[in-house]
C-alpha cells in the first residue's frame, strides 16, 4: 500500500468530505481515507499495483474538485514524512 496526501481547494464542510470519500471509494485499490477539513487535505492509502496517484487526482477533478499543486513547506500544518527525524 502507498499513501498520498492531496491538497484540495474548496472542501470546507462535511458534505464535501463525504462526497470526496464516496468518489475515492469508487476507485478500485483504494484503502483508508482521512480528510482534514481545516487544511483541505485528503490522505489516501491505495494499492499502487491497481491504481495511481494520478488516477485518484483525475477522478476527483472529474467529480468537480480542484487539486492544488502547491507543495507544502516541510513541517507546515504539522506535515512531516518523518524521514528526516523531524529536523
Selection from 26, 29, 28, 23 nearest residue 42 by Cα: 23
18, HSE (Cβ side, Cα atoms, 13 Å): 3
Q: CA angle 42-45-49, nearest 5°?
A: 135
71: confidence class by pLDDT, cuts 50, 70, 90: low
CATH 3.30.70.100, applies to 2-70: yes
pLDDT at 26: 96
pLDDT at 9: 85
Query: So where are the chain's domains?
Result: 2-70
pTM beyond 0.85:
no
68: confidence class by pLDDT, cuts 50, 70, 90: confident
Q: Which residue has the cell 483525475?
A: 58
Amino acid at each position: 500500500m502507498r499513501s498520498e496526501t492531496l491538497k484540495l481547494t474548496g472542501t470546507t464542510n462535511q458534505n464535501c468530505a463525504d462526497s470526496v470519500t464516496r468518489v475515492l471509494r469508487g476507485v478500485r485499490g483504494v484503502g483508508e481515507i482521512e480528510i482534514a477539513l481545516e487544511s483541505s487535505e485528503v490522505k489516501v492509502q491505495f494499492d499502487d499495483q491497481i491504481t495511481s496517484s494520478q488516477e485518484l487526482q483525475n477522478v476527483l477533478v472529474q467529480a468537480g474538485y480542484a487539486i492544488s499543486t502547491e507543495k507544502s513547506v516541510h513541517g507546515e500544518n504539522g506535515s512531516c514524512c518523518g524521514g528526516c527525524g523531524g529536523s
